[in-house]
Amino acid sequence: MNSLKHERKFGFESWDKEKINKVFSFAQDYKYFISENKTEREVVKTLRRIVEKQGFVEIDAKDYTQNKPKKVFKVNRDKSIVLGIFGKKPVKEGIKMVLSHIDSPRIDLKPHPLYENEKIAWFKTQYYGGIKKYQWPAMPLAIHGVVVLENGQKVEIKFGEKEDEPVLTITDLLPHLSAKQMEKKLEEAVEAEEMNVVVGSVPTSNSKLKTLNSKSEEGKDLVKLGVLELLNKKYGIIEEDLVSADLEIVPAGKARDLGFDSSMIGGYGQDDRVCAFTSLQALLSLDEEKLGQGVVLVFADKEETGSESNTGSLSSFIPDFISEMLFLEEGKHDENLLRDCLSATKAISADVTVAYDPDYTSVFDPQNTARLGAGIAVEKYCGRRGKSGTSEASAEYLGEIRRIFNKKAVLWQTGGLGKVDLGGGGTIAVFLARHNMDVVDAGPPILSMHSPFEISSKIDVYSCFEAYQAFLSS
């Protein structure tokens, strides 16, 4: 019999040396992954490379009925990707799904970003997702993304990450003159329109450019022109090209081990690339021959802004992909089969949650908040106030998840988003539940969540891998 009283277990207290060694080596790969892939596009590109190597076939218009691939994938506009593996059971009887998101809170460029003010060139920005604006000034920043030229050619930009490369930054006011600013509410201390990025200060020395420009106003915008000249040299772009671009400002530099004991990882955008990485590793570790139900992994974009847009989870690309899998199996597109499959599907919405922070005890219910290092956190519901806007997992489904995790000795705990009525939040779970599937949130607890430097425990990262693996193979 299990012990009568339930107590939270911590990995560093209960796991043996051999397991801890695995935890640390897994964390190395994870750190590398989040350091190299900071945007949804970069994650998709890397995932495509990995799964193609593993024999996944991209579903396209070809007829596969003669030679049905076992492992398939589809990329949606380079910003989201879905992977599928067929099991022994037909897809129409339901599949196992794990969904994570690969966008993170950040600062985007406006369509007309570049201007000059006081002989300094700047980028205008608009923040993306839920950030605390005061956390972003006075730190090294990088720019990642793509610019599409008028002829359709795509230019990739990743600047500020290499050690010998310059970085960008947002300025902050010196404390000596901040008396007024310090009196402001935190929310207003740094205004969105003040989050302009410093990008240069050398005026162009190109006499041709100078003369062209002087026709309008002599000596004006020479620094801006200097930056445009550099951008043109480096990337072949002109100012108008910035209109058709997805350019994202993110913290510069790599994820790091944290603590004298290296037990934690500090880095940008662990929400939610931690679940993307661990669910991918779980999928790749499966014994495909033994797979009962088919499995699907979704890596979605736009979660941080509400899952809208064609690459967000509210778009039809998720059911469309499953429909394609059904077609491969049944040889026909049939809405009823798709509905049958979706309503018999079991899903994990793999997303991070808050870790109990002893510096801010007043916002937590200590008994129902996840702890760093105590394993993957399962959340029956999130939402706001009286469970508003949430997808609540049923007792039956929670029972099933608990059984699956316990059977494989997965280190898990429950999580919740702080004290009732203090705030709240949501995940992709609600959108999956609309397809009438069973879904529950499960992911690692994070300290400093949504900040430029989020903290995870290596124990929890590994527990997520084990949990998703147990779920997908159950």
Residues of this chain that interact with Mn ion (CB under 5 A) are 271-272, 351
Q: Which amino acid is at 333?
A: H
Residue 221 or 271 having the CB closest to Mn ion: 271
Residue 299: CB minimum distance to Mn ion, A: 12
Which H or E element spans position 397?
helix 395-407
Residue 72 or 102 having the CB closest to Mn ion: 102
**301 bridge partner residues:** 312
Residue 271: CB minimum distance to Mn ion, A: 4
Helix (H, G, I), strand (E, B) or coil at 344: coil
Residue 317: CB minimum distance to Mn ion, A: 19
Q: What is the DSSP letter of 88?
A: S
Residue 158: name the closest of 37, 61, 69 by CA.
Answer: 37
Residue 181 or 305 having the CB closest to Mn ion: 305
Residue 101: CB minimum distance to Mn ion, A: 6
Residue 313: CB minimum distance to Mn ion, A: 11
With a CB cutoff of 8 Å and minimum separation 6, the contacts of 282 are: 98, 465, 466, 468, 469, 471, 472
Question: Are 71 and 85 contacting, i.e. CB atoms less than 8 angstroms apart?
Answer: yes
Residue 450: CB minimum distance to Mn ion, A: 6
Residue 304: CB minimum distance to Mn ion, A: 5
Residue 315 or 427 having the CB closest to Mn ion: 427
Residue 337 or 447 having the CB closest to Mn ion: 447
Q: Where are the alpha helices (DSSP H) in 264-351?
A: 270-284, 317-330, 335-343
Residue 413 or 427 having the CB closest to Mn ion: 427
Residue 116 or 271 having the CB closest to Mn ion: 271
Residue 116 or 351 having the CB closest to Mn ion: 351
With a CB cutoff of 8 Å and minimum separation 6, the contacts of 308 are: 302, 314
Residue 363: CB minimum distance to Mn ion, A: 17
Residue 248: CB minimum distance to Mn ion, A: 15
Residue 301 or 351 having the CB closest to Mn ion: 351
CA distance 188 to 125: 16
Residue 429: name the closest of 443, 418, 419, 444 by CA.
Answer: 443
CA atoms within 13 A on the CB side of 459: 22
Residue for token digits 């913290």? 251
CA distance 239 to 254: 30
Residue 383: CB minimum distance to Mn ion, A: 14
Residue 241 or 351 having the CB closest to Mn ion: 351
Residue 9: name the closest of 341, 455, 413 by CA.
Answer: 413
Helix (H, G, I), strand (E, B) or coil at 220: coil
User: Token pair of 65, please?
Assistant: 């009925």
CA distance 252 to 166: 10
CA distance 198 to 211: 26
Residue 324 or 351 having the CB closest to Mn ion: 351
Residue 448: CB minimum distance to Mn ion, A: 12
Residue 271 or 301 having the CB closest to Mn ion: 271
Question: Are 140 and 146 contacting, i.e. CB atoms less than 8 angstroms apart?
Answer: no
Which H or E element spans position 428?
none
CA distance 173 to 158: 28
Helix (H, G, I), strand (E, B) or coil at 15: coil
| Longest pairwise C-alpha distance within the chain | 87
Residue 294: CB minimum distance to Mn ion, A: 25
